[in-house]
Structure 1
């Protein structure tokens, strides 16, 4: 794909400026910089706003915020999508630090009629806490040799960090993991996202990203697997917002999306255009 394409990054965040800072460090060292970075903030406090402001002279950041009203990630992602101006959008999270070739890799594989499905390599809490800006800038944070020196336990998932294009393409091809829409590392064309009316705001934690991808499939968009090519390292954290009720509700919505071949969610961007309450854009 032509590298002149305008590419935006949408990063979801909620009250974790320490992790967000490490993630933003990763975007300082991209071989292909983003044209815009939109922070989709689901109601964080003042310390997050101050952190984001500290990066505004270094990165093309726009901060989209609304008041804290529980887990409303789908809603803030829709607001960020409305605010975006790039034709191609990469979605990720506050806890996913990109390797220096992350944006370039997404652009390399971008193709009309497709979305890209990446994954992450999860770090334990002790290494997550100790990562410095220098570790990210030098690439040590993505080096298996260095991570082993920090007492990372080796397992098969460590193969994601092997940087060899032929090996990466082979692993993308043989992996049994389906190329679904994964909010931590996925990308596609903004026009396709608007066609399906963005994210379903009835959904809270658990599968809302997958449902978004399922509607892209229903639209006729196909997917490409790049989990071994577009690399982010995932910082450890707890998930207090995960509930059995939200999981069960979302399973029902996804089942209905597949059964009825739904393309456009009835609870998405079109509903936002007429009324976007308690939102701040800086």
Structure 2
């Protein structure tokens, strides 16, 4: 039976319950309400489950918690499980530390095209501002307001343009940016069929370009990537990255080189084995 849902928003998380609670709240106030949330949880403890249960009680949004044992950084595996659990034809991928502006889901849906993936970005909040964000600040959309952020001590930079509300300016900057449109897990969307066609994420890969690689296979398979970094807006809460490791990054680079060289459109290490 075909789902009437317009989108499945897949949020990856690992032991960041405080951030996840804020992120989930940002989906409660979206201008588009016809979507579901799938939490791709790479082995978090009970605190994350408590946040999701609490949100489920109060929200009308259908939320599914997909969890696996903590065996180190296995994001590709949990994302594949989340894709299988999703019910919509269109998927939006993001992270549990990225607060979505109220028009985030609506904008992804407005800009979607056949055989096309949308490549967004994020605006990084300072550690001090990240710690000060509350549900009330999200309700007032202040964390997306350039003037408010500058008053709180956010450094002034060109990157503040990522928070523009002007569609005209966003379109212009999307066209002019030298940043390539790629599959970046914190803000990207595609048709479910297009990611299933390449067999999802390569489960051999750990941290470092693991999301880019699935996008590279999709490109090899004829999917266009469109730049929307100034249109689909989210702000990134500050955190450390203890899971970075050189060995994993070396393996990932090797896999990505093979994908590029062989123009691979499919991985044997994905959803279907």
TM interval, short-chain normalised: over 0.9
Alignment check: 8 A CA contact 2:205 2:251 kept: yes
2:30 pairs with 1:11: no
Structure 1 residue 34, shift from structure 2 partner: 4.5
Instruction: Tell me what 1:91 maps to.
Output: 93
Q: Alignment RMSD, CA only?
A: 0.9
Instruction: Tell me what 1:223 maps to.
Output: 225
2:34 pairs with 1:49: no
Q: Where in structure 1 are there 5+ consecutive unaligned residues? A: 272-282
Q: Which residue among 183, 194, 206 is the counterpart of 2:196?
A: 194
Q: Which residue among 242, 246, 249 is the counterpart of 1:240?
A: 242
Structure 1 residue 30, shift from structure 2 partner: 0.3
Secondary structure at the aligned position of 1:55 is classed as helix
Instruction: Tell me what 2:271 maps to.
Output: 269
Alignment check: 8 A CA contact 2:30 2:104 kept: yes
Structure 1 residue 5, shift from structure 2 partner: 6.2
Deviations 1:113-134 (A, max 9, x none): 1000000000011100110101
Instruction: Tell me what 1:26 maps to.
Output: 26
Structure 1 residue 25, shift from structure 2 partner: 1.0
Deviations 1:118-165 (A, max 9, x none): 000000111001101010011111001111111111011111112111
Structure 1 residue 244, shift from structure 2 partner: 1.0
Structure 1 residue 247, shift from structure 2 partner: 1.0
Distance 1:24 1:126 in 2: 21
Distance 1:38 1:213 in 2: 20
Instruction: Tell me what 1:170 maps to.
Output: 172
Distance 1:19 1:88 in 2: 25
Alignment check: 8 A CA contact 1:8 1:34 kept: no
Alignment check: 8 A CA contact 1:9 1:34 kept: no
Q: Which runs of 4+ in 1 moved over 6 A?
A: none
Structure 1 residue 239, shift from structure 2 partner: 0.5
Instruction: Tell me what 1:144 maps to.
Output: 146
Structure 1 residue 47, shift from structure 2 partner: 0.6
Q: TM-score, normalised by structure 1?
A: 0.94
How many residue pairs align between the two structures? 268
Q: Where in structure 2 are there 5+ consecutive unaligned residues? A: none
